[in-house]
Amino acid sequence: MTFMDDMSMAPEPRDIWVVAELGADGQASPLSLEIVGGARMMADGLGCYVHAVVMGTGLGDVAPQLIAAGADRVHVADDPALEHSDARCKVLGDLFAAQPPEVLLFSASRLAEDVAPRLAQRFNTGLLAHCTGLQMDEIERMLIGTHPVFNGEYYELAACPSARPAIATLEPNTFGPPYLDSYRMGEIETVAMDLSGFESRVQVSGPVEYMPPEVPLRKAKRIVSAGRQAGDFESVKRLAKALGAHVAGAREAMDEGWIAEEQVVGATGETVQPDLYVAVGIRGDTYHAFGIRDAKFVVAIHPEKDAPLVKTADAALVGDPPKILTELIEALK
């Protein structure tokens, strides 16, 4: 049976469907609630319904949360086999073949990375991935997503004019916090599925120990860099750990004995191009400025508000660096 046969037997694509996920606490994840809320707004504009699908085990409390966020009907698929992405693809694929969505939304998560592209290929349709913005053109009834390109250098808008379902994966803060109304009414349906003979084609075991190859400083995406006024180098290292960043410094940090020659950033050291460069206690001279001129976002933390780097950084915090670092590490938790 060809794909075209499937389409002629299936009903018209309709409604906005959201594949909801669970947070670490077993409740609906904040991003899933946000997406259901956004779907609610879009559905109200289009005059259609919002469906949520949730998969896994122990899903008791989750459906009412999704209804409170705006779902009209929640489809619950409860089975331990659903920890395998193969099973998720099968269950979702069968569900959407029987009830084709007009729009299908995922969180931009690992689950979505495994499942959304496969579903998009199966249904011969488009995928708008990692959207930071999403709109429905109500006149042409077309989904338009905004997504970052070249690691966020700029953004592109892409549309899915005719293929259905139009599928998108969404980053946090695309819609803003949802309005949760515990008095909303909605239906809860159990997804009919037969996973009795199911065997996943991929076997997973672990976690395992693995040391990835070292990333050199000039390729590091995040750097926390120390200067003479950093005060306490240990807190610099702790901040780097909290951010998953490389530790580096201006030349004076090497003079202080905190870092090695390879970690020096500046015209006579390494030139770096991270997404985030946090300069702790670095006053900022032309040599150092040369080394960081390609950094995407520079944060200066320094006691003097007239320090050159404080004036040219994208964001600055003026005060006692060790104290600020302690607060920052706390705020990042």
Which residues 124-163 are close enough to bind another protein by CB under 8 A? 124-130, 132-133, 144, 146-163
Tell the smallest beta-carbon distance from residue 297 to another protein (Å): 5
First vs last C-alpha separation in the chain: 53
Whichever of 54 and 295 has its CB closer to another protein, that residue is 295
Element (H, E) at 85: helix 85-98
Whichever of 68 and 131 has its CB closer to another protein, that residue is 131
Given a contact cutoff of 8 angstroms between Cβ atoms, the answer to whether 277 and 225 are in contact is yes
Name 233's Cβ contacts closer than 8 Å, sequence gap at least 6.
Answer: 226, 253, 256, 258
230 belongs to the binding site for another protein (CB under 8 A): no
Tell which positions 90-109 bind another protein, by CB under 8 A.
Answer: none
Tell the smallest beta-carbon distance from residue 182 to another protein (Å): 28
Pick the binder of another protein from 139, 202, 257, 286 (CB under 8 A): 202
How far is the C-alpha of 289 from the C-alpha of 266, rounded, in Å?
A: 7
String of contacts with another protein for each residue 252-271, x by CB under 8 A: --------------------
String of contacts with another protein for each residue 292-331, x by CB under 8 A: ----xx-x-----x----xxxxxxxxx-----x--xx-xx
30 belongs to the binding site for another protein (CB under 8 A): no
Element (H, E) at 148: strand 142-149
194 belongs to the binding site for another protein (CB under 8 A): no
Please write down the long-range contacts of 140-144, taking CB distance under 8 Å and 24 or more positions apart.
141/46, 141/102, 142/166, 143/103, 143/168
Pick the binder of another protein from 52, 59, 120, 280 (CB under 8 A): 120
Tell the smallest beta-carbon distance from residue 253 to another protein (Å): 22
Token pair in block for residue 78: 């409860």
215 belongs to the binding site for another protein (CB under 8 A): yes
Given a contact cutoff of 8 angstroms between Cβ atoms, the answer to whether 34 and 178 are in contact is yes
Tell the smallest beta-carbon distance from residue 190 to another protein (Å): 27
- At residue 224's C-alpha, the angle toward residues 218 and 225, to 5°, is 80
Tell which positions 164-183 bind another protein, by CB under 8 A.
Answer: 171-173
Choose one: 52-60, 70-78, 177-185, 197-205; the region binding another protein (CB under 8 A).
197-205
Element (H, E) at 18: strand 16-20
Pick the binder of another protein from 61, 121, 141, 262 (CB under 8 A): 121
213 belongs to the binding site for another protein (CB under 8 A): yes
Q: How far is CA 161 from the centre of its chain?
A: 25
Query: Nearest 10 degrees: CA dihedral of 197, 202, 204, 209?
Result: 170
Whichever of 144 and 259 has its CB closer to another protein, that residue is 144
Pick the binder of another protein from 139, 203, 257, 286 (CB under 8 A): 203
Please count the other Cβ atoms lying within 10 Å of the Cβ belonging to residue 258: 18
Tell which positions 67-86 bind another protein, by CB under 8 A.
Answer: 86
Name 58's Cβ contacts closer than 8 Å, sequence gap at least 6.
Answer: 26, 78
